[in-house]
Structure 1
C-alpha cells in the first residue's frame, strides 16, 4: 500500500520535490522505479535476509539428508554404415533418421520388455535401489503410491518374466535416453546409488538394445523373403498376361506403330500455334488503331504540347516523318517564345512563327491519319487470317477425334504391361538381396562410448541447490517485503498526505521524548498545590519543549505550523485555530499546547482552550487542580477571570475543562449562544485562540465548533494512522474538511523517513540541522 500511494504521490509533487514532472517521461519513470526498488530494500532488508537464510538452511538440511546418486552414460550410434553390396540388395527401406524415428528408438530403450531383459540378466530384483530397502526419496514415493493404490493386488502384477511392476517402474525411473544435438547418437543414462553398478547397468541396457535390434532385423528379413517369393510368382504371371493383351489389341485394330505421334495430332498442334499468333496480331493492330482514332478525334491545335503523341507509344514517336516535324515544331516553339519576350506577342515575326507552328501541327495530324489508315488495313487482313486458321483447326480436330479412342486403349494396355514387368523385375532383385542378407546379418546400431563409473555424484547438485535456494529465498523475501509494503496502509510521508487527502502537510513533527527529573516534578507539584495562583503545572515538560529547547527540530516544526497559520489567506481571520485528529492518542493535545507555548513565547497574547469536554487530557496535564473551567463559564457560575490559568514564563493563558460527571450532550453545549459569546470575548482579548478539540471519529463534537473556529489543523500520527480511517472521517465531516489549513504528520521517526521518502532523504539529514544549531532529537 505504502509504495503504491508513494508512486501516486510522486505524480502530485511539485517540480522541486522530485523528477515526477521531468520533461523526459521515460527517464522519470525509470528513476521512480529505481527509487522504489532501493526504498523497498532499505525498509525490508531484514525480511529479505531472514528469508534467504531460512532458504539456505533448508537447502543445507536437504543436502545432508539426501543420499547421493551417480549417473553413468553410454552413447549408441544409429544407422551403422553397411557394406555396399548389402545396401544395394537390402529388401527394407533405409531412409535418413528423422525426429520421429529417433523418438521411436528412445521409447524402445525405455520399454518394459527391455527393462525386464536387463533386470533378469543382472539379477536386479534384490538390488536396494529397486527393492525399496534403501532410504532414497524415490523408494519412499513408490511406497506411498503403492499404499494409495485402490487395487493393492495390481502392484504385485507379474510380468512374463515374473517381475513385479514396482521393480520395472523403479528401473525405468532411473533410466533415461536422449538424443545428442541433431545427430544420430543416443545417450543412455542410468542412475544408481553405487557408481560401479550404474555403469554396469548402462552398458547392459545398450547391449540388450543392440541385440534386440539384431533379432528384430533377422526376423523381418526372413518374413520378407518368404513373402517376396510368393509375390514374385504372382507378378510374373500378371505381366505375361498383360503383354499378350497388348499384342492381341494391336492385331484387332491394325495399329502398326502406336507409340509414335499421329499426323492429326501434329496438325492440330501447329494450327493452335498459328491461331494464337494471329489473335495476338489482331489484338495489337486493334489497340494501335484505337490510339490513332483517339488522336484524330482531337483538334490539331491540342497537339501543341506534344503530350498527346507521346501517349500513343513508340509507333508514332519512332516515325521518322513525325520525328522530323516534332523537332521543327519544338525549335519554332522555342523561337516563338524568345521573339515574344523580345519583340512582343503581336510582332510580325512572332505571327509568322505561329503560322508555321499551325502548319506543322496540321502536317503531324495528316501523318497520324495516314498511319491510322495503314493500321486499319492491317487489322482487316489479320481478321481474315484468324478466321481462315480457325476454320482449318475445326476440321483438323474433327478428324483427330476418330483416331484417339484406339490409341488411348493401346496406351493403357502397354502401361499396365510395363508396370507389371518393372514391378516383377524389382521384386526379383529384392528377393536375391534378401537371400544374401540372411547370410550376412548386421545391426544398425553400435556402442560409440561405453559407460564408466562416474567420478562425482549427479544429484543432488549442491551448488545448484544452494544457488536456487539463495535466489528463491531472496525472491520470496522480496515478495514478502512487497506484500508488507502493500498492506502498510498508514501515513508515512508528506507526499502521501497530499495525494490521499488533497491537503498540504504543514510540518513533520518528530517524536518527542522528554525525561523529567524527580526534583522538578516535586517542585511543580508544590506550585500547583496553591489554587490561588492558578499557575500552569510545570511537570508537563512535554508541552514546554518549544520553550525549554527552542533549537530542537521539534520546535522548528511547531514554528512551521505557526507560519502556515499566519500565511493562510483563505479567510479574513486566522485567530481561532482548532487542533483535532481522526483518532485518539495521535498527539493533537501536545501539538496544541506546543503551538500555544510557541506563540506566547514569541510575545503574542494567546490562550489555549480545552474543548475536549469528555476527555480533558490537556487540563489534567496543565491544570490538574482546576476546580472550574469552560463549562462553568458558559453556564454563568464562574467568570472567565476566575477560571483562566497562566504560565508566567510565556504569558500563556489556559482555559481548562473540568469533568465532574459524564456529559451526555457535549456537542449541544459547544453550539450554545453562551459558547459563541465566550469565543467572541476571547477573540477580543487575545491575538490567538488555540482550541484543543476531540478526535473526529469517535465523537461529533468537532462538527459543532465550525461556527466557533476559523480554521482547523488535522494531526496524523506517523506510521499508525490508517489512511482509510482519515479519509472516512473527513468525508463524514465536510464542513471540517473545507476549513482545514492542512495536516501535521506527528511522532515522525526522522531517521526512518529517509527509507520512505527517497526524493527528500537529504532533507532529513542531521548535518543540515547541526549547521544551524538545531538538535535532531525531539
Structure 2
C-alpha cells in the first residue's frame, strides 16, 4: 500500500471517527448564531449616490483614457475623506440635533445583547462628558463617523454613501443631510474663494485708482506750470536798450529746458494712460467675478437620494448561520485534531505489533452505515442505538454481501482453519479489547460466513452480562445457556435453529444475570454441554465477555475453548488495556490463537 493510499485512509478514518463531533459543534455554532441574530437589535442602512465631476480638462481626459481615472483617484479619495470629516458630521449633527439622540449622543450603537456585556466600559466616558457640551459634541461626531460607510463604485466617479442606524427613517434622514452638508460645503468653498478673489481685486482696483489719479494729477500739474508765452525778438530788444547776447543765451536755455520738459510730459502721459488701462481691465474683471459669484455651482451632484430602507442590513440570519456553522466546524475540527494527537488508543496494526507479539490474523474495516442500510435497519429495528447498530446491520445479508466487511470475514476462515475436516466440532471463543458490540458483530459475522461454506455452525452467547447477541437477534427468547447449566431448560429447547444466516443460535439467558452468579459451580456441567454441542456442530463460535469487564468469567470460559481470538477495536483499545487483557487470558493457561483488528486506519472503508 503506497503512501497516498495510506494517507487517504487515515484522513477518511479520521473524518469517520470524529464526524459526529465536528457536525455537532458546527450545528451548535449555527444555533448560537441564529439565537444571536434573533436577539440582536436590527440595524438599517440607507444609501445615496454622489457623482464627482472630474477635475481634468476634457481634452486631457480623452487623450489619457483609463489612465485619466487613475490620475483622478487622489482627488476622489480626497472627496471621500471630506465626506467622512468631522466638519461634515458636525453640520449633520447640528442640523438634525443628534446630540440629544441616545444612539449618537455620546453612546455607541448596541447591535445586540452580547454587546451589552461590554457596554459598561463606555458608561464612565459618557458620565464624565455629560456636563461638557464640547465633549458631548465630539462624542456624537465620533459616533456618527463610525456609522458612515463610503465606497467608490468600481472605477467610476460615483460614490455610495451609507449610514447605519437602528431607525430606518433616521438613517435615510442622516444620509440626505450628509449629502446636503457636503454639497453646501462645496458651494460655500467656491463662494468663499470667489469672495476672497473679489476682495483682493477690489483692493487692487483701489490701489490702481489711486495710482491712476496720481499720474493724471502729475500731468495736469506739469501742464499748469508750463509758460506758453513767446520770447521777444532781438531787433526789438536792441531798440529798447537790451543786450542781444543776453537774449540769445536766455533763448538757448529756454530751448534746452523745453526739450527736457517735453520728454517728462510724454513720460507722464504714457504712465497715466497705462494706469488707466490697467484700472479699466481690473474693473471689468471685478464686474465679471461678481457676476460669476452669484452663479456658483459645485463639481458634484446627488444622482440618487436616500430612501427609507425596508429590510435590515444587520443581522442577516442566513449569513450568520453559515458563518456560525463554519466557525463551529473549524473549532470542532481543531478540537478533534487535538484529541487525535493526544489520543493514546491503538489505530493501526503496527501499534499492535509494537505492543505484543500476538499474531494478527485479520483486519476488518468499520461497517459503512449507508443511508439505505440505516433506513432499512431502523425500519426493522427502530429501538437500536449506535452501539448495537453494527450487529443488526449484518443481519441483512443482501445489503452488505458485497461489502469489505463481508469479504474480510470470509478471509478469516483460512487462518482459523475452519475448512479442515475434524471428527468433532471446534469451538472458538472471541473476547475483545473494546466494546461488546464490535465483538458480537464479528462473532456473528464469522458464524454467518462459516455457515455459507456448508458447515453446521452454532453461535453461542456466553456474555451473560451484556447479552448483545441475545438482545439483538432473539430478544424474545425464553431460555438460553444459563438456563441449560442450571437444569431449568434443555439444549434442544434453548437452541434456535437456522435463524442467523443458516447458523443456529444459543442465547445467553432470558434475563440479565448478576455478576458472580453467571458460571459459579457449573464448570463440569459447562464442559459437558460444550462437549455435546461439539458433537452436533462442525463449528461453534462463542461470544465471550471482555477480559477487563468480567475477569473471573473469562478465566472460567477460556480453558474450555479450542482457540481464543482477541478482537482489538481501534480507537477504543489502548496498549495498556491490550497488555492487561492478554495477561488475563494467559493467566488462565490459554495462549491466544491470534488477534483481529477492527476499524483500523490500515484499510479503506
TM-score by length of 2: 0.49
Between structures 1 and 2, the one with greater helix share: 1
